[in-house]
Amino acid sequence: MLIVKKFGGSSVADKERIYNVAKRCIEDYKKGHDVIIVLSAMGKTTDGLIAQAKEINPCASKRELDMLLTTGEQISVALMSMAMDALGVPAISLNAFQVAMRTTRKYGNSRLKKIDTDRIKHELDARKIVIVTGFQGINRYDDYTTLGRGGSDTTAVALAAALHADACEIYTDVEGVYTADPRIVPNAKKINEITYDEMLELATLGAKVLHNRSVEMAKKYGVPLVVRSSLNRASGTVVKEEVRMERMLISGVAADKNATRVSVIGLKDEPGIAFKLFNLLAKNNINVDIILQSVGRDGTKDISFTVAQDDAKETIDLIEDNKNRITAQRVECETDVAKVSVVGAGMTSNPGVAAKMFESLYNVGVNIKMISTSEIKVTVLIDQKNVDKAMQAVHDAFGLGE
């Protein structure tokens, strides 16, 4: 069996943890399995490197930032290989150049395109544990690129896909995917099985256990994912295409505080205005989430939408600069908002889900500012201060803690 195992930065933060990971991986190796390990940079290494860069140049180019940051994972994999060696197991560390981890051109947030698996296969055939740098790739210019925060998950899934691995295990500091964040909803329960689509909604919506691009890729190539704890032996959460029938209607509740509501007021009520507005944002790589358009009145209408907080300033500036072209009278923004979502593949055939969610929020006095629905989720925008209360209420209403 070929198993890809991914460990995050906190799992390799010091000598003791590195040895814990090494020992755990060696167990599978000694059972006769082929083992590939994908590692992130140790502990706060990446943050430290970013701070160093900012000291030198607050506007450092992304190309040079990637050149700097990729050293973090290289340190992790070299040290892990040394630990394996000390434990008497042959291992070898490989970086993005050595596995030809090809990505798109873009620095800072690149996408994997292709992996040359020859070297890895060769080392596995020699019965070595192969330890690969997560998060990093190289582009067509042979420059380092990085896959964005959490990109090591994507590296692991990509390797699993390219090598047709039998399992891809993502180790975290929690026991798996929960029906809600246990720090906010104390009676949240671990989910044993979840579909790729549901996981994708939860990942995108801030559940933070898996990088959403990794889930997209796992779905595309049918890579069986397991999210489990690096601290204990609990079975974790299996992410796959189909799950058992007896499962619940709703798989989980997620919150995302990284949201800003932007309202564009007084747009002309005529065709093409919405297109011009959102085309402007798309061209500038700004992802827009919930969109709400008011009914036209007196020849004008308002459009509200949410963007990530990091993009808020650029969004406002862009709209201000193009006010005339998109016929806006003014633009407003609200930052103290958050999204709360229920996710579940079962809801497509059950129109009562949205109603039950709204009722539970009404019962605890939470006002809903915007609503968005898809086939497997219902999202509401509420005041940030109400997030915890709202999550608990929705979680209880669907009986997720039982």
SS3 245: coil
Beta-sheet pairing, 34-39 with 2-7:
parallel
Interacting residue with its own copies among 38, 39, 83, 286 (CB under 8 A): 83
| Residue 108 sits in the site that holds its own copies (CB under 8 A) | no
Angle at alpha carbon of residue 332, lines to 149 and 327, rounded to 5°: 110
Q: Which of 33, 42, 14, 72 is nearest to 169 (CA)?
A: 33
Residue 351 Cβ vs its own copies, minimum distance, rounded to whole Å? 54
Angle at alpha carbon of residue 168, lines to 167 and 169, rounded to 5°: 110
| Residue 86 sits in the site that holds its own copies (CB under 8 A) | yes
Interacting residue with its own copies among 46, 93, 103, 110 (CB under 8 A): 93
Residues 245-274 binding its own copies (CB under 8 A) are: none
Interacting residue with its own copies among 24, 33, 63, 208 (CB under 8 A): 63
Interacting residue with its own copies among 35, 37, 39, 53 (CB under 8 A): 53
Q: Which stretch binds its own copies (CB under 8 A): 50-58, 229-237, 273-281, 369-377?
A: 50-58
Contact 241, 196 (CB under 8 A): yes
Residue 67 Cβ vs its own copies, minimum distance, rounded to whole Å? 4
Q: Contacts by 26-34 with C-beta closer than 8 Å and gap 24+?
A: 26/84, 26/87, 26/89, 26/129, 28/3, 29/89, 29/129, 32/1, 33/1, 33/2, 33/3, 34/1, 34/2, 34/3, 34/124
Site string (20-49) toward its own copies, x via CB under 8 A: -----------------------------x
| Residue 114 sits in the site that holds its own copies (CB under 8 A) | no
Distance CA 191, CA 68 (A): 38
How many residues make contact with its own copies (CB under 8 A)? 36
SS3 178: strand
Interacting residue with its own copies among 56, 125, 242, 295 (CB under 8 A): 56
In terms of CB distance, is 88 or 351 closer to its own copies? 88
Q: What does the DSSP 8-state code read for residue 190?
A: B
Contact 238, 298 (CB under 8 A): no
In terms of CB distance, is 71 or 322 closer to its own copies? 71
Distance CA 113, CA 128 (A): 26
Residues 270-329 binding its own copies (CB under 8 A) are: none
Beta-sheet pairing, 193-195 with 91-94:
unpaired
**Alpha carbon of residue 71 to chain centroid:** 22
In terms of CB distance, is 49 or 316 closer to its own copies? 49
Residue 139 Cβ vs its own copies, minimum distance, rounded to whole Å? 11
In terms of CB distance, is 68 or 180 closer to its own copies? 68
Residue 170 Cβ vs its own copies, minimum distance, rounded to whole Å? 24
Interacting residue with its own copies among 23, 51, 52, 140 (CB under 8 A): 52
Residue 83 Cβ vs its own copies, minimum distance, rounded to whole Å? 5
Q: Where are the alpha helices (DSSP H) in 294-386?
A: 309-321, 352-363
Q: What does the DSSP 8-state code read for residue 377?
A: E
Site string (127-146) toward its own copies, x via CB under 8 A: ---------------xx---
Interacting residue with its own copies among 27, 30, 31, 57 (CB under 8 A): 57
- List of residues contacting its own copies (CB under 8 A): 15, 18, 49, 52-53, 55-57, 59-61, 63-65, 67-68, 70-71, 74-75, 77-79, 81-83, 85-86, 92-93, 95, 97-98, 119, 142-143
